[in-house]
Structure 1
């Protein structure tokens, strides 16, 4: 009987993990190649979109025609015209129209301020009426002494002239008008008004009624009383309190239709 060979065990291979690791890296590389292929940009479509955006902002109505080297077939062009992105491009000129409307409105507001300053000359130069431009529109602050006796909401006879002058400037405009009554922080004590809230509201209402009588459409007007909650000066001094006692006529900016819809949805 021949002698049996001694079985020799193979040594352990500690590098076998490299095979699995190499397979994993290969699969990962293939995955990223596929992802890159999916996300690659169509240069021709990108150029056409850029051209369309340029046409929209420059004011031309027609899209630029594709170059002769374009490989897009007519069917694809039809799809482009019916796509949501093309609808967005057609909507861009509306934004331009709104911007033009805003520019014209700013010019009109400036013209209103100029006209009011000229019409109310002596009252504005003396500080009894102050006209300013705010983010809400034109603010016309009228000192209470110009319009009312102390503690009263009845308009003085001599106040008819400045109210009529303001009305004549605003009568042919389309802007909404909000009349605001303001007081100082000293509590009122008479039989007619329980607090400054009633006094400020009634003063605003009195001015609204007079403006309606002078020709302003009623649906353009509103009256609000703020009492002493919106001071423009320090109520600790007599001079500051005098500035806070006022009636403000706000000529409100008109808002684009899109902005109005957005605010309604919110």
Structure 2
């Protein structure tokens, strides 16, 4: 009879035990720190492997500015001195100057190294430009010989500019009649002489049409823009159809009278600025192609 109260009083309160929360992604923080340090290490090792004292100086200065210390590249001086005769005894670990800044002497040495590297690159570009200029001159000789053989030696002139070899054909009434883009027989003969050499070259070919500066109303075309473009297109079409030039190597453009060959004040401009230019395009990068005019003179 007495068990009911005792049973109730003896009941023990149960406590739920919760497992302590564990951050399973905490290792990512340490991992990312380690990867950052490895990246810095590999960058330093890469700079050391190239044994470029200028790059090492600039790399050290960058680290010094970032970390406010000159301890990042400790010992780099010995690497340079052991592996490069160009180090000029620079003590990279010394970190002369405030916050590891380069001294005036170190900056001068670094600048001289940069200047020497720039000069070497410029000389290399000039060598490449001279070789290209010689190839263009060889093409010019072949075209000249073909024109001379057909009695057309005086109907084309040649220049080498940053674009490549420019073959200029004056579009007088013998080549095109006024306000017309139809090639006359002599114009066809000139292109037939030029075509075989152009086809044998690996270069792309651009044909530019130009009119003179006279503001003579056109009848068959809305303006000189359409006329100059039509003449360039007629030359391209003739070279493709009769000389077998690959169409994907050809392009045509018209410039009306916006790019005169000689000053419009010159009495000859009325005749000489009315022309078609056949350009053997150079495949050189722009900074090297800009040296072609100078290279052409150097190879004369």
Asked if 2 retains the 8 angstrom alpha-carbon contact of 1:188 and 1:194, the reply is no
| Distance in 1 (alpha carbons) for counterparts of 2:181 and 2:170 | 13
Aligned residues: 183
CA 1:42 to 1:136, structure 2 compared with 1: closer, same or farther past 3 Å? Answer: same
Superposed, which structure 2 residues align to 1:43-192 within 5 Å? 43-47=77-81, 50=84, 104-121=131-148, 122-124=151-153, 126=154, 128-145=155-172, 146-192=174-220
Unaligned runs of 5+ in 1: 1-33, 53-95, 260-266
| Distance in 2 (alpha carbons) for counterparts of 1:227 and 1:257 | 26
Superposed, which structure 2 residues align to 1:5-16 within 5 Å? none
**CA offsets 1:188-239 (integer angstroms, 9 cap, x no match):** 3343112111110000000000010111110010000000000011323441
Asked if 2 retains the 8 angstrom alpha-carbon contact of 1:193 and 1:199, the reply is yes
CA 1:38 to 1:198, structure 2 compared with 1: closer, same or farther past 3 Å? Answer: closer
**CA offsets 1:107-155 (integer angstroms, 9 cap, x no match):** 321211221222223544x3x3111111110001100014211221100
| Distance in 2 (alpha carbons) for counterparts of 1:195 and 1:209 | 21
Instruction: Give the superposition deviation at 1:102.
Output: 5.2
Aligned to 1:246: 275
3-state SS of 1:194 partner = coil
TM-score by length of 1: 0.59
| Distance in 2 (alpha carbons) for counterparts of 1:245 and 1:105 | 29
3-state SS of 1:163 partner = helix
Task: Select 2:238's aligned residue among 202, 205, 210.
Answer: 210
| Distance in 1 (alpha carbons) for counterparts of 2:220 and 2:247 | 26
Aligned to 2:298: none
Unaligned runs of 5+ in 2: 1-67, 87-122, 289-300
| Distance in 1 (alpha carbons) for counterparts of 2:133 and 2:77 | 42
**RMSD of aligned alpha carbons:** 3.3
TM-score by length of 2: 0.53
3-state SS of 1:171 partner = helix
| Distance in 2 (alpha carbons) for counterparts of 1:157 and 1:192 | 21
CA 1:51 to 1:168, structure 2 compared with 1: closer, same or farther past 3 Å? Answer: farther
| Distance in 2 (alpha carbons) for counterparts of 1:117 and 1:37 | 67
| Distance in 1 (alpha carbons) for counterparts of 2:162 and 2:141 | 18
CA 1:247 to 1:51, structure 2 compared with 1: closer, same or farther past 3 Å? Answer: same
CA 1:206 to 1:49, structure 2 compared with 1: closer, same or farther past 3 Å? Answer: farther
CA 1:191 to 1:161, structure 2 compared with 1: closer, same or farther past 3 Å? Answer: same
Moved more, 115-124 or 99-108: 99-108
